[in-house]
Amino acid sequence: MRLALLALALGLGLGIPAQAQDAELGVRYWYSSAKSTRSHNAQSVDARLGNPTSVLTYTNLDAHALELHGRKSFAGDWFVKGNAGLGTITGGSLRDEDFNVGQVRDTDTTSTVKGNGLRYASIDFGRELWRFENGTAGLFVGYHYWRERVDAYGVVSILGSTPIVLIPDSVPAITNETTWQSLRIGLAAAARVGPQTRFAFDAAFVPYAHLRDEDSHWLRQDASAGPFFLGPAPNIHIEGAGYGFQFEFELRHTLQAAWELGAGLRYWWLRSEDGTRKALGTSVPIVEIESQRVGIMLSLTRRW
């Protein structure tokens, strides 16, 4: 639904009458990899536990995504821009560590991430404030939506010197869904670096990001799991607030007429240190949740 609304808003923005012919619409491929970490402090429930009590770290979450992007100038120096994308996560790994007081490691396991996906969208409104001989720069404010789901399989204990397979990797162990909704404030700039080549750059500070994180521990839904029982999935819910930073840049080369081929880099980083983890009716504070994704982009854009 959010992606559909973003596409509609982007289309309406590209239809706004402008004083100059300054609009673009294109497709972009993004190959990226991500790392995310989440931890909480349950010492208020049991003083024998560590702080953090549990740390889950996802790494090497490689993904392929395809997006629609566009930009339109209107009313002189004002502009609207945005994108909407869908992607597939192809693999990765999960490490799950639990600690007792004094940060003595109690359990340490790994699982294999076999896939799932991401979706994202943004829409920004801004104004060009500076004009130079070869380019422009301006400020914008906007909204960003970023959701990822990963499915991890199997459980291997690495606490001792020899890894022990506890659950084979054919068995689903945990699914994590993380959603960030962010306020963006940033700088957008573009400059020509040659007769047919230009440079585009966006950098945004995120002063506020709302976080929703859900874990489905598939092997801990039944009471037979004993002290590890968590109830029906999704069985862990986290709500929080955070901050972050995002940037991207592209080099674009004119192929013919108004068509451009682009290549660049994108990086997202969001972090929350203020939130609550709820499981089986018990609430404890989080220590941190952090999400990073970085990768290369290729784009084909039509300008008019």
For residue 55, give the nearest of 92, 94, 93, 98 by alpha carbon: 98
Residue 65 in tokens? 């995504």
Residue 22 is predicted with a pLDDT of: 83
Residue with tokens 């976080």: 211
Are the CB atoms for 2 and 121 separated by under 8 Å? yes
Number of alpha carbons in the 13 Å side-chain half-sphere of residue 119: 8
* pLDDT exceeds 80 at position 168: yes
Residue closest to 166 by CA, chosen among 228, 214, 216: 228
DSSP secondary structure letters along 222-241:
SGGGGGG---SSS-EEEEEE
Taking residues 261-281, report their average pLDDT.
96
| Nearest alpha-carbon partner for 96 in 88, 106, 84 | 106
Tell me, what amino acid is at 10?
L
Integer angstrom CA distances of residue 81 from 3, 25, 182: 14, 10, 16
Average pLDDT over residues 145-174: 97
78, 127 contact by CB (below 8 A): yes
> Which residue's structure tokens are 């230009």?
198
Checking if the pLDDT of 2 tops 70, the result is: no
pLDDT in tens, 227-246: 888 999 999 999 999 999 99
How far, CA to CA in Å, does 197 sit from each of 134, 194, 252, 254, 265? Answer: 11, 5, 6, 6, 17
pLDDT-derived band at 225 (thresholds 50, 70, 90) equals: confident
* Residue boundaries of the structural domains of the chain: 2-205+219-303
CA-based end-to-end distance of the chain: 29
* Structure confidence by residue, pLDDT tens digits, 62-102: 999 999 999 999 988 999 999 999 999 999 999 999 999 99
- pTM for the whole thing? 0.91
Please state, in angstroms and rounded to a whole number, the distance separating the CA atoms of residues 30 and 280.
39
d(CA 145, CA 120): 5
pLDDT > 50? residue 172: yes
**CATH assignment, 2-205+219-303:** 2.40.128.90
